[in-house]
């Protein structure tokens, strides 16, 4: 098995445009499953964190410290680089400084900061997106860059601008402020040629969330041409939600688990995956039976 990427190697590859493929995760268990599957990195998805931990839409309803708690549990559970969805940074540039410091201490390898007004709205579902004045948003990126203790902590600037020209102008400004990667939203860029134009104009690799048309229209080779980081943000969440919905409905209907529509993991296999054996061995070492 290949050793997990260090933060330095992860940063080097992303900055060089040597694409690292990540799985989106929403808790420690989904992060562990992503590592077992063979991904080289994990991204905490704010959409998933809000859905899984609040049962609510991705509208920055959770606080920075609530998000940080989830991220700490994820970094503790895996050996892979974890990129945190840090939303708007939870306030202005001063709040961003604190967010970066705390998330870096939690062990993240990178953060995604967006230029929406707080509280943000998920562009996948929101009808209207309000974004900050460009220099205020750039100030937040500068604050993030200056707050990090390790220069290999990756700062990803996301822009929710809805026109190509504005998104490109903002991307250039954020790169000047120190952003390592630029993350566009798919509602603005809707074909490969426009992503190539953005990549060339901003001068740094892109961070792509593989959703919508990016899933259906682009090949892996095309994504790797422009992206330093490519993430499947919602497959784990939607897979889990669909399987639980189907199986719970069958349990409620039949009061039997004999004919569940979605397969379930064997209990022994799950115990092995989650680490029961290692903890039981620690119990034998540290908690011997009383004589």
**Residue-wise DSSP of 241-255:** HHHHHHHHHHHHHHS
Measured distance CA(5)–CA(229) in Å, rounded: 14
The verdict on whether omega for the bond into residue 191 sits within 30 degrees of 0, i.e. cis, is no
Alpha helices (H) along the chain: 7-15, 28-37, 46-54, 64-77, 93-105, 134-147, 164-176, 192-202, 213-217, 220-226, 235-254, 267-274, 276-286
87 is catalytic: no
Helix segments in 158-233, DSSP class H: 164-176, 192-202, 213-217, 220-226
Local structure of 9: helix, strand or coil: helix
Which of 46, 84, 73 has its CA nearest to residue 62?
46
Among candidate residues 58, 85, 115, 180, the one labeled active-site is 58
Helix (H, G, I), strand (E, B) or coil at 92: coil
Closest CA to 157 of 172, 149, 166: 172
Residues recognised as catalytic: 58
């Amino acid at each position: 098995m290949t050793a997990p990427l260090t933060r330095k190697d992860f940063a080097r590859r992303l900055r060089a445009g040597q694409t690292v493929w990540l799985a989106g995760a929403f808790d420690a268990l989904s992060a562990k499953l992503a590592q077992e599957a063979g991904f080289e990195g994990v991204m905490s998805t704010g959409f998933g964190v809000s859905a899984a931990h609040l049962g609510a839409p991705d509208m920055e309803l959770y606080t920075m410290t609530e998000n940080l708690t989830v991220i700490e549990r994820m970094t503790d559970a895996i050996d892979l680089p974890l990129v945190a969805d840090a939303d708007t940074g939870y306030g202005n540039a001063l709040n961003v400084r604190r967010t970066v410091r705390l998330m870096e201490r939690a062990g993240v390898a990178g953060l995604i900061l967006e230029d929406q007004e707080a509280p943000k709205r998920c562009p996948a579902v929101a009808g209207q997106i309000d974004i900050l004045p460009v220099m205020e948003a750039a100030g937040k990126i500068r604050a993030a860059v200056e707050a990090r203790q390790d220069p290999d902590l990756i700062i990803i600037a996301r822009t929710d601008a809805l026109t190509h020209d504005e998104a490109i102008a903002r991307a250039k400004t954020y790169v000047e402020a120190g952003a390592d990667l630029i993350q566009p939203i798919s509602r603005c860029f809707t074909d490969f040629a426009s992503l190539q134009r953005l990549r060339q104009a901003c001068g740094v690799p892109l961070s792509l969330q593989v959703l919508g048309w990016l899933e259906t229209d682009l090949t892996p080779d095309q994504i790797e041409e422009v992206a330093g980081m490519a993430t499947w943000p919602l497959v784990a969440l939607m897979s889990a939600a669909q399987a639980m919905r189907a199986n719970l409905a069958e349990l409620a209907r039949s009061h039997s688990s004999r004919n569940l529509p979605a397969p379930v993991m064997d209990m022994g296999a799950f115990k092995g995956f989650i680490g029961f054996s290692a903890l039981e061995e620690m119990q034998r070492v540290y908690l011997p039976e009383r004589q």
